[in-house]
């Protein structure tokens, strides 16, 4: 599973090593960190990313591009796990 992004300088999708990725987009997905909150925002973000990779593999993708990533705080004074995260991503398959 590769994370890709759009490189504006060359006008193409590239992977983490800046190699051109030639695939086609086939789905847009939204994934949460889970039904239970986390104790800090980074753990919530990592949990959502982990869930994204699992969903991507189940859908047959070989790459994903994260469009948005958000972390929410419940703002409850005595909540020991107030943070949840959401990731929206595009899924890709090789051409």
Tell me if the domain spanning 2-94 has CATH number 3.30.110.70.
yes
Rounded to 5 degrees, what angle do the CA atoms 91, 41, 8 make? 40
Bridge partner list, 14 = 5, 20
Provide the pLDDT for residue 95. Answer: 80
DSSP conformation class of 16: T
Provide the pLDDT for residue 77. Answer: 85
Q: Is the confidence at residue 51, as pLDDT, over 90?
A: yes
Provide the pLDDT for residue 76. Answer: 87
Provide the pLDDT for residue 68. Answer: 97
Provide the pLDDT for residue 46. Answer: 96
Q: Domain spans of the chain?
A: 2-94
Lookup result for tokens 């948005």: 68
Region 13-22 average pLDDT: 95
Single pTM value for the model: 0.89
């Amino acid at each position: 599973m590769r994370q890709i992004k759009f490189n504006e300088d060359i006008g193409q999708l590239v992977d983490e090593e800046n190699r051109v990725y030639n695939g086609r987009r086939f789905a847009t997905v939204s994934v949460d960190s889970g039904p239970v909150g986390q104790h800090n925002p980074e753990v919530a973000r990592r949990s959502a990313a982990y869930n994204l990779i699992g969903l991507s593999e189940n859908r047959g993708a070989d790459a994903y591009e994260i469009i948005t990533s958000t972390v929410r705080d419940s703002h409850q004074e005595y909540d020991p796990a107030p943070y949840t995260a959401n990731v929206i991503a595009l899924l890709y398959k090789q051409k």
